[in-house]
Amino acid sequence: MDIPLYREEDACLRAYAIERKTKETRISVNLCLDGGEVQVGTGIGFFDHMLTALAFYAGFGLDLRAEGDLQVDGHHTVEDVGIVLGQALFRALGDKKGIRRFGSAFVPMDEALCLTVVDCSNRPFLVYDAAMPQGMIGAYDSCLTKEFMRAFAVNGGLTLHQRCLYGENAHHITEALFKSLGLALKDAVRVEGRGVTSTKGAL
């Protein structure tokens, strides 16, 4: 169920709230592209850390809560959070008038270096090149980062390219991927004009 977030005092903010319930997960997201507090709880500590970093470096306000079938594993929770967060981003961007549209960022994390390039194009696509040297990061399966990024890109209408240029520690690689995504989104959603950034006149 989509719940448009609107408060009179925040009318100038680009924000959206959404809830999604399935037999596997229950997720609520309240996202503001123009800043605010960040509070995340998914039941997976490392994933909470990554989502917090993503929102912080993007300059987003985010209240995200997830309950999932973690007794199975974290796959459904991580993927479904990507779906709902992507939907909230897509809705909050509205008609995309004035946004820069493109963003990119390199982020080093100790021995690891990662690159993210994003286009708020409404043409969902993921190119992901980031091998994980270790399978688990605490209770987080490192292969789930790709699942999150795919779900987020598809539901957010993003063309998203991510690459780990080098790295030996899955924690460092994953953190660099999430932080660089935040920084790239910060540029991409920044309002710097009035019209749509496309020769077609629409995104």
Report how far residue 133's alpha carbon sits from residue 72's, in angstroms, rounded to the nearest whole number.
Answer: 23
| CATH code, domain with 60 | 3.30.230.40
For residue 139, being part of any structural domain is answered with yes
The number of domains in the chain is 1
Tell me if 196 is assigned to some domain: no
Q: How many CA atoms lie within 13 A of 190 on its CB side?
A: 15
Token pair belonging to 33: 């592209």
What would the two tokens of residue 166 be?
Answer: 């080098």
The verdict on residue 63 lying in a domain is yes
Q: How many CB atoms lie within 10 A of CB 3?
A: 12
pLDDT of residue 69: 96
The phi, psi pair for 152, rounded to 5°, reads -65, -45
CA distance 103 to 120: 9
Q: Residue-wise pLDDT tens for the chain (203 aa)?
A: 454 444 444 445 899 999 999 999 999 999 999 999 999 999 999 999 999 999 999 999 999 999 999 999 999 999 999 999 999 999 999 999 999 999 999 999 999 999 999 999 999 999 999 999 999 999 999 999 999 999 999 999 999 999 999 999 999 999 999 999 999 999 999 998 887 777 777 77
- What's the rounded Cα separation, in Å, for the pair 170 and 133? 6
Within a domain: residue 198? no
What pTM, to 2 d.p., does this model score? 0.92
Detail the DSSP E strand segments found in 81-137: 102-109, 112-119, 125-129, 136-137
195 within a domain of the structure (yes/no): no
Domain region containing 177: 2-188
